[in-house]
Amino acid sequence: MSRTDDVYKPALSGKKIPLLPLDNKWYKLMSGYTMTEQMVADEEEIKELLKKQGRLNTSLKELKKKKNHLMAQIVGNMDEEAGSTMDDIKEQIEECNRTMDEYMDELIDIPKLLNEINYRLMLGTMELCYDSIKTNTDAINEIGDWIDNIRKELKLNVVRKQEKEYKNQQIYSYMHDIFGADVIDIFDMKYNPESEHVIK
């Protein structure tokens, strides 16, 4: 089984997931990644479904207004004999009802579709993020090992440097005591005890 089936799906079970393309934080998260073709398609499909939902809701409101207006016309013409006009109005009301039913059916299906696609987009996001965290963790561990090795090497080199500085100081001191300053000048050596360096 995949990590998605073993880990991500159980973790998301029963959770209310926000629609990712409406969440600015998701876009900030995704700014560092190249989304898969499936993720790009899912994002686009969610946006299109939301637009469709908006259009259907707007059309539904307009149809309700039209139906109410037609109903008012029927009530207003009750006393008059206008058979063909009444038939025409009734036919328009029936058409409004049919269209409203179609829109309502579509509107009922949209949230389910949105959830399914959004869930798939969330799984894709989790895969991308997990892969990135794993890659970063591997790099962090590698860099950490390098830093530890450099620290050890640095400590060793600091000790070596101090040992060599101490050795130079001893050599200079013994040579100065044994041979005197004139002989040391022959070797063209100068020692600055404050900097603890022999300058050649």
Both 131 and 161 in one domain: the answer is: no
Residue 162 lies in a domain: yes
Residue 5 confidence (pLDDT)? 60
Q: Answer yes or no: are the C-beta atoms of 46 and 19 closer than 8 Å.
A: yes
Say how many domains are in the chain. 2
- The answer to whether position 7 is within a domain reads no
Q: For 60-70, how does the pLDDT look when each residue is reduced to its tens digit (9 = 90+)?
A: 999 999 999 88
Residue 31 shares a structural domain with residue 57: yes
The tokens for 89 are 């109005």
For the full predicted model, state whether its pTM sits above 0.85.
Answer: no
Tokens 């965290």, residue located: 133
Answer yes or no: are the C-beta atoms of 20 and 46 closer than 8 Å.
Answer: yes
In a domain, 76, yes or no: yes
**Would you state the pLDDT for residue 89?**
85
Among the candidates 120, 144, 168, a domain finishes at 144
Cβ contacts of 35 within 8 Å, gap of 6 or more: 43, 124, 128
Give, in degrees to the nearest 5, the angle at Cα 48 between 43 and 51.
Answer: 130
Secondary structure tally for the chain: helices H, strands E: 6, 2
For residue 3, tell me if it sits in a domain.
no
Q: Distance between CA 124 and CA 4 in Å, rounded?
A: 9
Together in a domain, 54 and 129 = yes
Q: Are residues 94 and 23 in the same domain?
A: yes
DSSP-derived 3-state class of residue 17: coil
> How does pLDDT run along the chain (200 residues), one tens digit per residue?
456 666 666 666 667 788 999 999 999 999 988 999 999 999 999 999 999 999 999 999 999 999 998 888 877 766 555 566 778 888 998 999 999 999 999 999 999 999 999 999 999 999 999 999 999 999 999 999 999 999 999 999 999 999 999 998 888 888 878 887 777 776 655 555 545 554 44
| 3-class DSSP assignment, residue 75 | helix
H helices of 23-82, in order, are 24-30, 37-76
> For residue range 78-98, what is the model confidence (pLDDT) as tens digits?
655 556 677 888 899 899 999
Q: Residue 60 domain-assigned? A: yes
Note whether residue 5 is domain-resident: no
Return all residues near 110 (Cβ < 8 A) that are at least 6 apart.
49, 52, 53, 56
Give the structural domain span for 163. Answer: 154-199
| Residues 35 and 132 occupy one common structural domain | yes
